[in-house]
Structures are given as structure tokens and as C-alpha cells.
Amino acid sequence: MDLYEYQGKQYFARFGIPVSPGGIADTVEQAVAEAEKAGYPVVVKAQVQVGGRGKAGGVKLATNEAEVREHAGNILGLDIKGHVVHRLWIEHASDIAKEYYASFTLDRGAKQYLGMVSAQGGVEIETVAEENPEALARIYIDPAIGFTEAQARQLVEDAGLDAEARDGAIGILLNLYRAYVEGDADLVEINPLILTPDGRVHALDAKVTLDDNASFRHPEWDDFRDIDEFDERERLARSKGLQYVGLDGYVGVIANGAGLAMSTCDVVNQVGGSPANFLDIGGGANAEVMANALEVITSDTNVRSILINIFGGITRGEEVANGIKAALGRIDISIPMVIRLDGTNAEEGREILATVTSDKVLSLPTMLDAARKAVELANAKN
């Protein structure tokens, strides 16, 4: 789950990382009120999860109420790379002496945490890494040992941060690591991390990606979820606890497991079709889950056929088949459906599915054959 800048700053503040004072605004009047609270001059920032806000006119300095009204009015509703601005972050403008970069993430190849610091902040870190790699200091951290103050000091020294910024940067790095580990994040990034003329170091921006797999430990993350960013299908799926991503095709896809769901989408493309979605029901292919999945799939008016691809493992084939059968009894499906069931007790499952097969509900033994049939049926309805 990617956070907006204002959410990232709220998240950082929980771990003692200093950020600029400010507030969120959804209207021009709210922007004016937040500017009064923050104190002029302020920066009016578009809240979208895409880079290039400044170049697109989504970040503006305001020194008085009239300028806040002008900038807020212009930025709200602005389209930035396909993302329409519905919310603003209004923060007190900071004087900047120097800009740095700091982050923690996971290096999957090394199977260790990776900390990075650079004295060249405020630009894309990929550009720094490519054009001037020696300007990016790195350190690998054993998760079992953790990140020490000595390592933080070495990191800022290797990065060449100014002497007056080092103590403040060390403290922020230690808290940033805590935010990464204790906060169950995939990425925490500050760009820029600034040094002010009076010697203070704080986060001027915040980029945070949280690990959705850890959400059961963090009920407070519900406050971060922006349901307005999802289309109607995705909102319905989330309300039912389903892992769903809407696509632009016409073959509805249901599978158990993220890898199988992605493979199913690939096979649909391979045989000349176009998947309407990615939907992973995980290991719970019972009647309720299947009914919920079918309800979400059929809510998409572009769907002309449904492909259910299940590989029985811990959840056995006959349990899956009974779930599908019960779900079909709950929901009136007018769209043709093709089911591929394999794995543990698949034969028993196919025997159960045979009792519900018809010209609208077909069962085929292989993923490729099932995908071909689903595409054929979808094209026949076109």
C-alpha cells in the first residue's frame, strides 16, 4: 500500500521523524484555513501517487491568502499523468540550505535490508545512481542484528553529508529504520531530507510503501486506505475482502493464489483474449468466497465470460467444487463460465461439477483448454 505524502508524514511523525507543520484540504476554503494554521509562507502541494508534481504545476509557494486561493483553485481538479487531484497538503514553507536523500528498503537478491544516503537530494535517486553512483552510500543490514548508531554515522560520513547536518541525520536515520522495521514497511524514503540555515534537519517529503501482508497487525492502517482511488469493482471487492485488480478486458478471471491468477491472465492473452481482472481468492474457495467473487466479476458489464482456475492443494478439489456449486445456487449467472479444477482430489471435484454443468457452465481439465473455451464463449457473445 503506497501512502500519499501527507500520510507518509503522519506515519513518520509517529516514529519521531521531524516534518513540516501542515494540514490536508479538499477545498479552497480548507486550504486557506490550513495555511493560516501553518503560518505563511506556505507550500500548496497536490496529493497524487505519481512523480513530477512540480513540473505539472502541482506544487506552488504562497505568501498570502490570495495566492493560496489562486493556487488551490488551480491545483484541485488538475490532471497529473492521469491522476486527478482531489486533495491538497498545505505546509509551512521551509528555508533550505542543503538537500539530501535517505531510504531503507529490502534487497531481495542479498536477502538483507538496504540503507541508502546521498548528499544529492531533491532529484530522482535513479539518476544519481546511474550518473554518479559514488554519491550514493549504501549499507546492508542483517535483520537479526539491526541498525546501530555507529552504522548510521558511517553511512552519513560515506555519503559526504555536511558536518553540521550529521548529528541530526543520524538521529533521523535511526528513527527511519524503526519506521521501516517496526512499521512493517517495504520502503521508507525521504527526498529531500533538508538542512535548514539554522542547522535543523527534517523530512521535507515522505514516500512510504507498507507491506499489505502485515495489515493484520496494523488496524490503524485503515485510516490510510483511500477507497475513492478504486473503481466500483475494486471498492466492491475490498468490501468483501477479495484481492482484486480491475483490468480492461472481457474475460473474468478467478484463481486461488496470486501466481496462478497472474498465469491465468497470461494464458488468456496467449489464446487471443483479454482478462477483465486479476482476482485471487487464496485458499478459501468455499461457497461464500466463491459467491462474493462471482458477484464482483459479474458487476463488470464488460465481462462476457468467466474463467475459474483452481488448483487444489490444502483446499481439496471436492471442497472447491462444493463451494462453486453452492455459489451457483446463490447467484443467478447469465454469463458463460468455464471451470478448470486440478490438484488434490480433482477427480472427485470434477464429478461434483458434472452435476451443475450445462451450456453455460463447462468444466475442462487443462488451463489452456479452459482459457481457449472462455475466450471462444466471450467472442460468441460479442
What are the angstrom distances between the C-alpha of 308 and each of 101, 122, 174, 194, 290?
Answer: 46, 47, 47, 52, 10
Residues 46 and 76 in one domain: yes
Residue 1 near residue 226, CB atoms below 8 Å:
no
Residues 68 and 156 in one domain: no
Residues 71 and 167 in one domain: no
Domain boundary residue, one of 92, 114, 144:
92
User: Which pLDDT score, from 0 to 100, does residue 218 have?
Assistant: 78
User: Which pLDDT score, from 0 to 100, does residue 290 have?
Assistant: 82
User: Which pLDDT score, from 0 to 100, does residue 128 have?
Assistant: 73
Residues 103 and 203 in one domain: yes
Angle at 150 between CA 147 and CA 154, to 5 degrees: 100
- 3-class secondary-structure state, position 290: helix
Residue 270 lies in a domain: yes
CATH of the domain at 324: 3.40.50.261
Separation CA 124–CA 126 (nearest Å): 5
Residues 41 and 103 in one domain: no
CATH of the domain at 53: 3.30.1490.20
Separation CA 169–CA 161 (nearest Å): 9
Residue 14 lies in a domain: no
CA atoms within 13 A of residue 273's CA, in its CB half-sphere: 34
Q: Which of 6, 101, 180, 244 is catalytic?
A: 101
First to last CA, the chain: 36
**Number of structural domains in the chain:** 3
pLDDT below 70 — which residues of the chain? 123, 223, 225-231, 283-285, 382
Domain boundary residue, one of 192, 222, 252:
222
- Our answer to whether residue 189 is catalytic in this structure is yes
| Rama region for 146: left / alpha / beta (φ>0; ψ in -120 to 50; rest) | left
Residue 8 lies in a domain: no
Residue 9 lies in a domain: no
Express each pLDDT in 151-184 by its tens digit: 999 999 999 999 999 999 999 999 999 999 999 9
Residues 365 and 240 in one domain: yes
CATH of the domain at 159: 3.30.470.20
Residue 15 lies in a domain: no
Residue 2 lies in a domain: no
| Domain range for 30 | 21-92
Residue 16 lies in a domain: no
Residue 3 lies in a domain: no
Residues 81 and 189 in one domain: no
Residues 79 and 111 in one domain: no
Domain boundary residue, one of 44, 73, 92:
92
Q: Which of 91, 99, 189, 319 is catalytic?
A: 189
User: Which pLDDT score, from 0 to 100, does residue 213 have?
Assistant: 83
Residues 306 and 254 in one domain: yes
Residues 199 and 298 in one domain: no
- Our answer to whether residue 100 is catalytic in this structure is no
Angle at 341 between CA 337 and CA 347, to 5 degrees: 125
Residues 178 and 282 in one domain: no
Instruction: Tell me which H or E stretch contains 10.
Output: helix 5-14
User: Which pLDDT score, from 0 to 100, does residue 265 have?
Assistant: 96
- Using a cut of 0.95, tell me whether the model's pTM lies above it: no
User: Which pLDDT score, from 0 to 100, does residue 227 have?
Assistant: 43
